[in-house]
Amino acid sequence: MFAWFLRLFGFIDTPTSTAMTFDARTESNINTLLPAAQAKAREFMEACLAAGIPLKIICGTRTYEEQDDLYAHGRTKPGPIVTRARGGYSWHNFGIAWDVGIFDGIRYIGESPLYAKAGEIGKSLGLEWGGDWPGIEDQPHFQLKLGLTLANCRERVAKGEAIA
């Protein structure tokens, strides 16, 4: 809390990077995102943690194959349906989306009013929040707003063009 004071008077070293680091799982998932999404994910995490929301990024970029595997759950694989999107039809496939989880220590909390609080923070930072989607509310989901459609993203990937 008083680190700035201690740095100012030379009691501790000034860090060479101002980027905050997070738990290993969050860092690993942030590193899967495109650079613009990484920066926003870090800004989002810092704001949420400062607001007392104990969250982690539990998923970042997925390959089309990973997406197809998730899509199979509850359909051709046992378990509940966890996504409505096949490979190429999820924002996660393009490095601009991430999912969060609220945690109490190491216990994952699937439903909590803190997801809505995180959603408000994300929106205040210019992110799109899955909790606002009609018909397929996805409160743990956040992504960059790029003004692109999924079809645009698939086309850009096919042409080797940048998405963000």
Q: Cα–Cα distance between 105 and 125 in angstroms, integer?
A: 26
- Closest among 72, 67, 131 to 95, alpha carbons compared: 67
SS3 category, 81? coil
Task: Indicate the DSSP class of residue 14.
Answer: P
Residue pair 51/121 in contact by the 8 Å Cβ criterion: yes
Q: Cα–Cα distance between 73 and 160 in angstroms, integer?
A: 30
Residue pair 55/101 in contact by the 8 Å Cβ criterion: yes
When the pLDDT of each residue in the chain is averaged and rounded to a whole number, the result is 89
| Position 66 confidence tier, pLDDT thresholds 50, 70, 90 | very high
Q: Which fold has domain 22-159?
A: Muramoyl-pentapeptide Carboxypeptidase; domain 2 (3.30.1380)
Instruction: Write the CB contacts of 4 (distance below 8 Å, at least 6 apart in sequence).
Output: none
Q: What is the pLDDT of residues 82-93, one digit of tens each?
A: 999 999 999 999
Q: What is the pLDDT of residues 10-64, one digit of tens each?
A: 333 334 445 678 999 999 999 999 999 999 999 999 999 999 999 999 999 999 9
pTM of the model: 0.86
